[in-house]
Homo-oligomer: A and B are copies of this chain.
Amino acid sequence: MLIVKKFGGSSVADKERIFNVARRCVEDYQEGHDVIVVLSAMGKTTDGLIAKAKEINPRASKREMDMLLSTGEQVSVALMAMAMGAMGVPAVSLNAFQVAMHTNRQYSNARLKWIDSERIRMELENRRIVIVTGFQGVNRNDDITTLGRGGSDTTAVALAAALHADKCEIFTDVDGVYTADPRVVPNARKMTEITYDEMLEMASLGAKVLHNRSVELAKKYGVQLVVRSSLNREEGTIVKEDAKMEKMLVSGVAADKNTARISLIGLSDKPGVAFLIFDALAKKGINVDMILQSIGRDGTKDISFTVPGTEAALARETLESNLEMFTAQKIDCEENVAKVSVVGAGMATNPGVAAKMFEALYNANINIRMISTSEIRITVLIDENETDRAVQVVHEIFELASGK
């Protein structure tokens, strides 16, 4: 079996943890499997490098930032190969050039284009554990790029796809994917399996276990993902296309407090207004979610939408400087809101889910500000200070703890 195993920066933060990771990889190797390990930079290395760069030049070019940051993973993989060497196991570290991991030209947020699997195959044939730098690639000019947030997950999945690995294990500091955040819902249950689409909805709604790009890639190439803990031997959660539904309408509840609602009031009710607004936001790279447009009245209409809380100020600024162009009378921004969502592939064919969720919130006297739905998700916007209670009552009404 060919297994790709990805460990984050905290899993390789010191000597003890490096050997802990090495042992887990060597176990698979000694059972006869081929093992590819993908690593992030150690602990706070990347933060330290960013601080150094900011000291020298707060507006350093992205090309040079990527050149700088990519050294972090190279240190991790070399030390890991040394650790395995100390255990008497043949291992070889490879950086993005050596693999090679080809990306487009977009520094600091590059997309993988193709992976040359020849070098890795050769090393695996020689029965070596192959340790690859996560997060980085090279573009056509041989310049170093980085893949942006969650980049090492993407590297792992892309390698698993390119080499047709039997599974891709993503090690994190949690046991797997839960029906809700266990800190909020103590009897939340770890899911055994989940579909790619459910995982995507969960991830985009604040369950920060896997980065969406890696899940999208896994779905596209049918890579079986396993999310499991680097701290224990629990089985984790399997992410795959045909995950068992377990007869569940709803798989989990997710919440996202990093949310702000923006409303443009009294827009003139004519075509093109929505385009102008969202085009202006897109040009600033602002992620818009939950768009709601009121029915026109007195020749005007309102448009509300949510943005990540961290992008609210920029969004507001962008819109305020163009209010006239948008024909808006007023802009209204609310930052103390949160999204709570139920996710489940089962709900696509069952109309009662939304009503059941609203019932739970009504019983708990929680006011719903906005509603948005997808095929497998229902999201409501509520007051931020009611988030935990909302997650609890929704988790309760769908009996997610029992896994029935």
Contact = CB atoms under 8 A, between A and B. Distances in A.
Interface of A: 15, 18-19, 49, 52-53, 55-57, 59-61, 63-65, 67-68, 70-71, 74-75, 77-79, 81-83, 85-86, 92-93, 95, 97-98, 119, 142-144
Contacts of A79: 52-53, 56, 68
Given A57-B83, A61-B81, A85-B61, A67 B71 contact: no
A215 B44 CA distance: 41
A17 to B, nearest CB: 11
| A contact face: mostly helix, strand, loop, or mixed | helix
Given A64-B78, A74-B71, A143-B98, A56 B93 contact: no
A78 B67 contact: yes
Contact of A93 (B67, B92, B93): B67
B93 A64 contact: yes
A157 to B, nearest CB: 24
A82 to B, nearest CB: 4
A71 B61 contact: no
A78 to B, nearest CB: 4
Given A52-B79, A59-B86, 18 more contacts: A15-B56, A19-B56, A53-B82, A56-B82, A56-B86, A57-B83, A57-B85, A57-B86, A61-B82, A61-B85, A64-B85, A65-B78, A67-B74, A71-B74, A71-B75, A74-B74, A98-B142, A119-B142
A77 B47 CA distance: 18
Of A18, A53, A75, A92, the most chain B CB neighbours within 10 A belong to A75
A97 B142 contact: yes
27 contacts: A15-B55, A15-B56, A19-B56, A53-B78, A53-B79, A56-B82, A56-B86, A57-B83, A57-B85, A59-B86, A60-B82, A60-B85, A61-B81, A63-B92, A64-B93, A67-B74, A67-B93, A67-B95, A68-B74, A68-B75, A68-B78, A71-B71, A71-B74, A71-B78, A74-B74, A97-B142, A119-B142
A56 B75 contact: no
A93 B69 CA distance: 13
Contact of A57 (B49, B55, B82): B82
Nearest to A93: B67
A67 B57 contact: no
Q: How many copies does the complex hold?
A: 2
A32 B229 CA distance: 58
Contact of A97 (B63, B68, B97, B119): B97
A61 B98 CA distance: 18
A74 B97 CA distance: 14
A329 B95 CA distance: 55
Contacts of A143: 98
Contacts of A142: 97-98, 119
A144 B93 CA distance: 11
Closest 7 CB pairs of A and B: A68-B78, A71-B71, A57-B86, A57-B82, A60-B82, A67-B78, A64-B81
A100 to B, nearest CB: 8
Contacts of A18: 56
A85 B68 CA distance: 14
A136 B83 CA distance: 23
A56 to B, nearest CB: 5
Contacts of A85: 57, 59-61, 64
A5 to B, nearest CB: 19
Contacts of A74: 67-68, 70-71, 74
